[in-house]
Amino acid sequence: MRYWLMKSEPSDCSIDDLAALPNRTVAWYGVRNYQARNFMRDRMRVGDGALFYHSNCKEPGIAGITRISSSAYPDATQFDSKSKYFDPKATPEQPRWFNVDVQLLRKIPLITIGELRRHPQLARMRTLQRGNRLSITPLDPAEWQFILKNLVRD
C-alpha cells in the first residue's frame, strides 16, 4: 500500500464538492504534469491512501482522507476540444493523460500548511519543499501515520 497527497483547487473541486458526489467519488482529471501522471498511471493502486489537499486558496491545507478507488484510465478531457485540458496530440489509441478515481473516506478539520511545517517529523514531506508544485506527491508511510495519529482531529 502506498500513500499520496493530492492537491485540488477548491474552486474546481473542494472537499465539500467531493462529499456531495455520488459514492463520494471523483475522477482526478486534468493533471497535465508528466511526473504526476506517472504516479497515477504507474504507481497508484486501488486501496492506496490519499490526503485531499486544498491548494491555491486563502488557506491551503489537508481537508480530507481519501482512497484510490480505481486503476488509472485515460482522462476524457484530453479528447474534448472545448475543455481547458484538451491535448491535440492525444488520441484514444494513444492517450497521453490519465486519471484515477478518488473516494472520500472522511472530511477533517483543515490541517493548514503552517501546521504541517511546525512538525520536524514532516520536514522531508515533498509538498513542504521549496519549489514543489506537483499536484500529486507520494507520502512516506511514517508521514501518513504521523499526520493521522497526531494532526487529524474529529
C-beta of residue 36 within 8 angstroms of C-beta of residue 75: no
Please give the pLDDT value at position 125. Answer: 95
Let me know if residue 131 belongs to a domain: no
Nearest-angstrom CA–CA distance, 3 and 142: 10
Q: Give me the pLDDT at residue 104, please.
A: 98
| pLDDT tens sequence across 94-128 | 999 999 999 999 999 999 999 999 999 999 999 99
Q: Is pTM beyond 0.85 here?
A: yes
Domain count, the chain: 1
Whole-number pLDDT of residue 154: 74
User: For residue 130, what pLDDT is reported?
Assistant: 86
**Sign for the pseudo-dihedral over CA of 53, 54, 60, 64:** negative
In a domain, residue 149? The reply is no
In a domain, 113, yes or no: yes
Let me know if residue 33 belongs to a domain: yes
Q: What is the pLDDT of residue 8?
A: 95
Rounded Cα distance between 111 and 109, Å, is 6
DSSP 109: E
CATH number at residue 17: 3.10.590.10
Does the residue 11 lie in any domain? yes
How many Cα atoms sit within 13 Å of 151 on the Cβ side?
24
Is 141 a member of any domain?
no
Residues of the chain predicted below pLDDT 70? none
Domain range enclosing 78: 3-124
